[in-house]
Amino acid sequence: MQETILTPDQYKDLSKKIIHAVDTRYRIIPLNSLKDRKYRLKVPVHVTLEFDEDKVIANFDDIEAFSYADTASEAIELLCSEIIQVFEDLVEDRENLGTLPRKWLAYLEEIIECR
């Protein structure tokens, strides 16, 4: 005999609350600029913002780069700096890169233009 824990209405209400909790904790946003005069994004890229209790984490999964700060705008600004730093480091050490960093560099060269 199967015992019902939640009524259909309770299940529906719980589902809505879970979806709302996820929606308010994570947000995917387009990044249109690296906020640096030396570099320009050729196309927008998507970054994930995660809202923790007292911090905001900005994440660019394509190259495993992230930053965190007290506000979303600060986290995004720090993430832009991190993306630039990763790009510059990869370009500088181009000849000694492993498989994954080589893929990151190829991708970054597709989306970043040096001015």
Average pLDDT on 88-107 reads 97
| pTM, 2 dp | 0.80
Distance from C-alpha of 64 to C-alpha of 59, rounded to nearest angstrom: 7
Closest CA to 23 of 61, 58, 57, 50: 50
Distance CA 80, CA 39 (A): 10
pLDDT tens digits along 4-61? 777 888 878 877 777 776 667 889 999 999 999 999 999 999 999 999 889 999 999 9
Chain centre distance of CA 108: 15
Query: Residue 17, class by beta-carbon neighbours within 10 Å (0-12 exposed, 13-18 middle, 19+ buried)?
Result: exposed
pLDDT of amino acid 16 = 79
